[in-house]
Amino acid sequence: MDALLLPLIVFCPLLAAGILFVSAGRMPARASCMIGAGSVGLSALLAGRLAASFLAAPLPAGTLHMALWSWMRVEGFSTRIAFALDPLSLVMMLVVTGVGFLILLYACGYMHDDPDIARFFGCMTLFVAAMLVLVFSSDLLSLYIGWEGVGICSYLLIGFWHTDTANVVAARKAFIVTRIGDAAMLCGLLLLATQASTLDIAALLHIVATGPAQLLPATAAFLLLGGAAAKSAQVPLQTWLPDAMAGPTPVSALIHAATMVTAGVYLIARLHPLFMAVPVAMKAVALVGLITLLLAAGSALVQTDIKRILAYSTMSQIGYMFLALGSGAWQAAIFHLVTHAFFKALLFMAAGAVILRVHHRQDIYQMGGLAPAMPVVFSAFLAGAAALAGLPLLTAGFYSKEMILQGAWHANPLLWAGALLGAFATAIYIFRCVFIVFLGTRHTEPTGRTGATMAIPLACLAILALAGGWMEMPDTIAPVHLLSHLLSPLFGTATAEGPSWLLWAGSLVPLAGVGVAWLLWRPRTQARTAPEDAIARLARTGWGFDTLYDTLLVRPFITLGRLNQSDLCDRLSDATAATTRAGSRMLSRMQSGQVRRYAGWIAAGTVVALCLGIRP
């Protein structure tokens, strides 16, 4: 009976998407909101029911299966559409449906006056359904369907306000960059299929564990890493994420917190035995994460758009997850994925509430002094900022980040030092945002109020951002390891804790970052502006990656296309087509429909043939 809940959890938002798309423009806004948010809320209730049943009576095999249908069967290879629930997909299911519901409930207030609200909720519910397919799939080919589904939904949602050219360009950029990674991932899946003759995840991982090492080459791991890096906006395929802020704020919250950018983390965690069999791939994952978290944190320090600050923050925090994955701290990566979903959704939704009330302005230097005018939003944003910075003891982000630092220390002290530097920069840039936006002199007078449909999700996520880390704590504080115990059948025993001074370092560094932010951006009477030195300008543009790709790839490709408009091949093709058309016209004149002319041509042909035959 419980197995039937798996497809039903996916079907609820999928059915809602179909209804909303078919009835777009003919349904009241309130009905669109109820169908959109209600369907994901129903999925969240079913997910809670399934989770309670799964945890109360764990299955002997540790996995709940539901086969839907056989997709294809050829000689030596078969694949099927099937769902499976294990501890990892259980955690992801609760995050996607729970946080997703709060985001859609918030969107009911944020988007209530948009004329295309039905299309918006249709795309959002389809997004959630695609992510659930990705999470539940027990076969990599059906997982790839969900993988591509979240990609096309992100394109539709980033470019939702398509009358603005900049939004369309941002959506196209996200689509193209992530397609590069998707192509790499597809090549990796095809390589696995040819080498292992299966894409069933359980069978594939069994082959990795028991089969010869050369059966699954390192090439497949690196191709899958390319797909994960693009989807999770990691170096060198991270350039699409800051521009994705062109979409409505609920879209940003959904993409950054509960769905798309965590897909790469989930993929590597799901296939962790494959990556563990290739040590160089593990090192590459850790290195990609470390570089991304430092570069993104540096860019966030100098941004002036509040949503772009949070976008670079997402890149940096996903970098922490990649660092944990590459260090073998699998539980730490999933723990930070969960806490990040709480505080990043909270930060985006609080930022959206601010943007609405300051007349859609997003420049933090045009805000200031907003705390007295919107205390609820300020409290929510402050809770999210504290969790993102990892302030000790009080926030969920502290416990998950501390677990990552412990894992990085055991893997390589240099990785730990880089992660600690990133934690310091994180505290600086997020409290820079807090101090500039909510304290000091007010530059824009806010209007309106934050309605209940927006305030309730903010309150729920604020509680989770503060208390959500209590599921996993260091032994020095309290021997609580609920998440590690849940995930241990998949990942084994969690990494042992290091010396106690590591905990002190991880606690004091974020506090030092807050102190630095206060010294630099505390309330002052004089007007403040963004730094304009060369390094700041370079960091603000994402360290020049867009310029590099534009120079090396985009411009040569456009130039080649222009040259190809009138090249020799085109001229030869045009000449061949013209000759064919001329011959066709000449031959068509012979088809007059007059019998006597046909007889004349026959007689003439006969005379010619006789002449050729009797010629000496």
Reduced 3-state DSSP string for 480-508: CEHHHHHHHHHHCCCCCCCCHHHHHHHHH
Complete DSSP assignment for 263-293: HHHHHHHHTHHHHHT-HHHHHHHHHHHHHHH
Tell me which of 235-244, 424-433, 451-460, 570-579 is least confident.
570-579
Q: In terms of domains, do 509 and 557 share one? A: no
Q: In terms of domains, do 360 and 490 share one? A: yes
Q: In terms of domains, do 363 and 446 share one? A: yes
Q: In terms of domains, do 517 and 539 share one? A: no
Domain that holds residue 540: 531-570
3-state secondary structure of 445: coil
Q: In terms of domains, do 376 and 518 share one? A: yes
- Residue 561: both structure tokens together: 């296309």
Assessment of whether the complete model's pTM goes beyond 0.95 = no
Looking at residue 517, its pLDDT comes to 95
Q: In terms of domains, do 525 and 559 share one? A: no
Q: In terms of domains, do 396 and 498 share one? A: yes
Q: In terms of domains, do 471 and 546 share one? A: no
Could you give the residue ranges of the DSSP H alpha helices within 79-160?
A: 87-110, 117-136, 140-158
Per-residue pLDDT reduced to its tens digit, 567-586? 666 667 777 888 888 877 77
Asked, for residue 347, whether it belongs to a domain, the answer is yes
Asked, for residue 244, whether it belongs to a domain, the answer is no
Q: In terms of domains, do 443 and 541 share one? A: no
Asked, for residue 80, whether it belongs to a domain, the answer is no
Q: In terms of domains, do 414 and 550 share one? A: no
Question: Phi and psi at residue 472, in whole multiples of 5°?
Answer: -150, 115
Q: In terms of domains, do 494 and 511 share one? A: yes
Looking at residue 272, its pLDDT comes to 93
Name residues whose C-beta falls within 8 Å of residue 482's C-beta, 6 or more positions apart in sequence.
Answer: 471, 472
Domain count for the chain: 2
Please provide the average confidence, as pLDDT, over all residues in the chain. Answer: 90
Per-residue pLDDT reduced to its tens digit, 538-578? 888 889 898 888 888 888 888 877 777 666 666 677 778 88
Count the Cβ atoms, other than its own, within 10 Å of residue 27: 17
Asked, for residue 375, whether it belongs to a domain, the answer is yes
Asked, for residue 469, whether it belongs to a domain, the answer is yes
Q: Report how far Cα 4 is from the mean position of its chain's Cα atoms.
A: 28
Per-residue pLDDT reduced to its tens digit, 129-167? 999 999 999 999 999 999 999 999 999 999 999 988 999
Q: In terms of domains, do 319 and 441 share one? A: yes
